[in-house]
Amino acid sequence: MSPRKSVAETAATRDRIITSALALATTEGLEGLTIGRLAVDLGMSKAGVIGHFGNKEALQLAVLASAVDRFRLRVPARAVGAAPGTQRLARAFDEWIDYMAEGEGHGGCFLTSVATEFDGRPGPVRDAVLEALASWSTYVKDELRAAVESGQLPKDTDVDQVIFELDGVILAANQSIQFHRDPRAPARARRAIARLLAA
């Protein structure tokens, strides 16, 4: 009377699907991701794949949530040891740049791609991207405020302007790495970040 698969096995399969889907969505986009292609890649039936999620949109949301989790574990989590303010931010951006340079289609770049892909498509996926980006902005804003309060940055710093420009550097790094495959991109990004975080 035991079930065909244990709870742990089911969760492992779900993880395998998400990992494969994330890789596929990195090249094809989250909308270009298809259940049939995913099933072939995994050696499963379409019904077996989609059964874990219900429908394509739920799968998209699960892939996105997984990418956000990986990003948080890789970037902000590694910066917790640094002192609040500019040091913690410098560390976080450094980690992000490493993360982008390292793999082909890991988390951070993926979020950027999905933001572009869904900027004209209202719905739950767009909302989830918006929430992830807002969460990152809040993180940066809190650290910038701490930097201003502790005197690391001038009192009259336009925090939102700095966030805007930091964001631009990340987007430029992403494009340089993903599209142009320019090996000098990480160094350029680090230089720009350093200047924005200098007093």
**Of 10 and 161, which CB lies nearer to DNA in the complex structure?**
10
If binding is defined by CB under 8 A, does position 152 make contact with a second copy? no
Three-class DSSP category at 32: coil
Question: 3-state SS of 6-31?
Answer: CHHHHHHHHHHHHHHHHHHHHHHCCC
If binding is defined by CB under 8 A, does position 20 make contact with a second copy? no
Q: Could you tell me the two tokens for 159?
A: 């925090």
Q: Which of 10, 27, 135, 138 binds DNA (CB under 7 A)?
A: 10
Q: Which of 21, 62, 75, 169 binds a second copy (CB under 8 A)?
A: 169
DSSP character at residue 155: T
Cβ-based burial of 117 (10 A; exposed 0-12, middle 13-18, buried ≥19): middle
Minimum CB–partner distance for residue 186 and DNA (Å): 35
If binding is defined by CB under 8 A, does position 84 make contact with a second copy? no
* 117 in Cβ contact with 66 (< 8 Å): no
**Of 32 and 168, which CB lies nearer to DNA in the complex structure?**
32
Q: Which does 117 bind (CB under 5 to 8 A by kind): DNA, a second copy, none?
A: a second copy
Q: How far apart are CA 169 and CA 108, in angstroms?
A: 13
User: Which residues, 48 to 107, sit near DNA by CB under 7 A?
Assistant: 48-52, 54-57
Draw the binding track, 11-50, toward DNA (x: CB under 7 A; -: no contact): --xx------------------xxxxx-----xxxxxxxx
If binding is defined by CB under 8 A, does position 83 make contact with a second copy? no
**Of 133 and 146, which CB lies nearer to a second copy in the complex structure?**
133
What does the DSSP assignment read for 62-111?
A: HHHHHHHHHHHHHTHHHHTTSPTTHHHHHHHHHHHHHHHHHSSS-HHHHH
**Of 46 and 188, which CB lies nearer to DNA in the complex structure?**
46
Residues that bind DNA (CB under 7 A): 4-5, 9-10, 13-14, 33-37, 43-52, 54-57
